[in-house]
Chain A
Amino acid sequence: MSSLSHAHDEAEGLGPAESTKAESSDSSASAGRGVRPDVALLLKAQKGDRGAYGQIIVLYQDRLFNAVLRLVGDREEARELTQEAFTRGLMKLDGFRGDASPYTWLFRIAVNLAISQLRKVQRTRVFSLDRPAGARTRDPDQAAGLMDRMASDNGEQPPAKAERRERDEAVLAALGRLDAEYRAVLVMRDIEGFDYQQMADMLSLPLGTLKSRLFRARLALRDELRTYLSDRK
């Protein structure tokens, strides 16, 4: 698993080892080492502890929102879809059987909502790094836009920041031009760090088909970024 994924797991209070186990949906293996905190919370929520589900929301809202945002490209739309995913999760608490991590279970709900939304609204999506004007910042370190975060990076010079911004803008723009299915597998694999089997399960695809789709998605993204990459060369 990438270091980025590990960083998220640490932010969620889960150790890298625990996160690895969770992402591999090996609940039986984790059972031998004790119940994961997020699984325990969801089990409590299943028994009617709404406070536990509130803790699940706090724990996963940023990660889920970021994934949905990369899928749909619009912050407001991502916010609504994130809320809808949590709400549906609350209504479907009894459907959680513990064979996947709570986040995987929630992400599956969210990605299905997002894909449905993308199929429903066929339009060219302009992905942007900029934070919407007037948006409140609950946590400047996490909620700040790319420029703010770059400015807060220690030791990074402005030219390097500009270069990163230019690169991220190009990637997001290229991502926004991809089909929803390609976008989904790229986000799931390269942003969220799910393994092939989890992705295949969530998308209900054969494993080989999933890998082939992921390869083609990367090819498509590379083609979209060809101009940017050629310029950098």
Chain B
Amino acid sequence: MSQNQEIIEAKLCAFIDGELDAEGRVEIEKHLEANPQHRRLLESLKATRDLIKWLPREAAPPEVAETLNGQLERSVLLDSESEFLRPSIWPRVMAAAAIVVLTAGLGLAVYFTLPKSQKNATPFAVRSQDTPAVEAQTEEKTDEAAGRREPVAAGVSKGGLSAMKAAKGGGNEAEANKSELAKSDEELKQWANQVGQNRDALNAVVNGARNTAAAQSGPITSNAVVMLVRSNAPQATRLQVTNFLDAQKIQWTEAAAPADNAQVQNAFNFAYDGRQRRQQSEGVSQTSPLVQQQQIQQQVQNAPTTAMAKNNGDALLQNSTTQPATPGVANGLTDRLAVQQRLYVARMSRQQAVSLSNSMAQEAQSTQLKDLSGATVTLAELGAGKQPVPFGMVNTAAATEPADVSQNASASYRSVQRLSGQAPAGFGGGTVPAQPTTQSTDQRQQMPAAVLVPGTQVVGESPASATQPATTQLATTQPADEAVDVVIVVESEAGQPAPAPTTQPTQPSPTTQPASGQ
């Protein structure tokens, strides 16, 4: 359509409707006068327009208003609901936020206030009041809370099964302790070999020389318990140990013995060495070896258990007059004990370790069971960057607290005297069974020392008497189901003839219990 034609049509449309201006109307009238056919066309268009205008008007069906009114009513109701009935969003948001905050707070409170696996902890455990020990435990727990991501002590080499597990990337904290206890045979044997071949490191770690290269390169982890069972009946002791492990279905294996097993160093006599050197430097008169031997023989005659008890490092530290009557000393071959050791490594819970210690100690002090009579049981737990903590009890009358214990006692060893059945502050009291009948009354009346670890408590204690041995139980405030690597050292004097056990012991072959039995 051309622009001109559109303009003409627009003018004609306006002319028909009577809305054309006067000038345009005059122009069109002139044209229509000259062209009557165009006038007839415009008249027909006007008639057509009128035909449309005359069309009847139709009313809307009632459905229109009804439907629309229904929609309006719904709209009003929805609006009313949104304005008046619907609760504001802020209370809901605040309620949700409060729930989240409370949940998080409760979770944090539970996480930080409740000890790990408290439900499995020994119910009769009490908190130790020994400040350093508490600090050490706090550090340990802090490390536990941190997922044991780092060694607890800078000077302690990270080793053992825990280290193996971490190295293998299997340190999933979500695993239950039970699963943690279930180690593969391969891991256990590997660690056992490391322990067996690095006894110097074991000795160094246990005796506090953990900053030495030997200790740091050793396999003993900071989360380990070294249990020294010193016995003059090694076969019976080993049988006792292995029977316990088997009964408890604890995974264990025996460490391979080194070539010079017959002359290995006593694991706990470093302190004795130091005291000897100190006495020498202070000019303390030294008893001749012959006199020493005579004294020791006399003591052994008086109390058969005493000699072995003194082999304990603690006893050696406290009482220099009771030097061990060892062939090594007597023969002048060495100033250390020449002992035989059998090492067993096991992975067990702390509670099981306590139970094993108690079992061994009770067995040792039992007058009915002679297998372990005269044995000493000492547990030394490593950890928290502190000195190794003795963990157990000493079954020896000769280990009574000497006068100079406060001056000479190692920080890691605590010998406590039981006074009227009341445990000294900070430690669990300990009782030691009634002394053998061969001991004098005075000796029996002496309260023997019980070496306990901070955080442990004596439970089930009955008044000691000369006729009725007291029953001593150890407990721990540490998480009872926490997995610990335990090195059980069954030590006896080298060359000591093995007495015939009451029960025929069988040499425990290196074996492991199935993990499924855990």
A residues neighboring B (CB under 8 Å) = 2, 4, 8, 48, 50-51, 53-54, 57-58, 61-66, 69-70, 75, 79, 82-83, 86-87, 90, 129, 135-136, 138-139, 142-143, 146, 149, 164, 167-168, 171-172, 175, 186-187, 189-191, 196, 207-209, 211-212, 214-216, 218-219, 221-222, 225, 229
Contacts and interface: CB of A to CB of B under 8 A. Distances in A.
Interface residues of B, number: 42
A75 B63 CA distance: 12
Contact of A87 (B12, B19, B55, B68): B68
Interface of B: 1, 5-7, 9-14, 16-17, 19, 44-45, 47-49, 51-65, 67-69, 71-73, 75-76, 79
7 A-B pairs closest in CB distance = A65-B60, A211-B10, A142-B59, A215-B13, A143-B59, A190-B52, A212-B9
Contact of A175 (B52, B58, B67): B52
B51 A225 contact: yes
B47 A229 contact: yes
A172 B55 contact: yes
B56 A168 contact: yes
B68 A225 contact: no
The CB with the most chain A CB atoms within 10 A, among B13, B19, B65, B75, is that of B13
Given A171-B51, A191-B52, A54 B72 contact: yes
A211 B14 contact: yes
Contact of A212 (B10, B49, B62): B10
Given A66-B59, A222-B48, A229-B44, A58 B65 contact: yes
A2 B55 CA distance: 13
Most chain B CB neighbours (cut-off 10 Å) among A142, A171, A215: A215
Given A79-B64, A215-B13, A222-B44, A90 B7 contact: no
Given A62-B60, A65-B64, A196-B19, A222 B45 contact: yes
A143 B64 CA distance: 13
A218 B16 CA distance: 10
Contacts of B5: 212
Contact of B57 (A8, A219, A229): A8
Contacts of A86: 64, 68
- Which of B19, B45, B51 gathers the greatest number of chain A CB atoms within 10 Å? B51
Nearest to B14: A211
Contacts of A69: 58
Contacts of B79: 48, 50
Contacts of A53: 72
A212 B45 contact: no
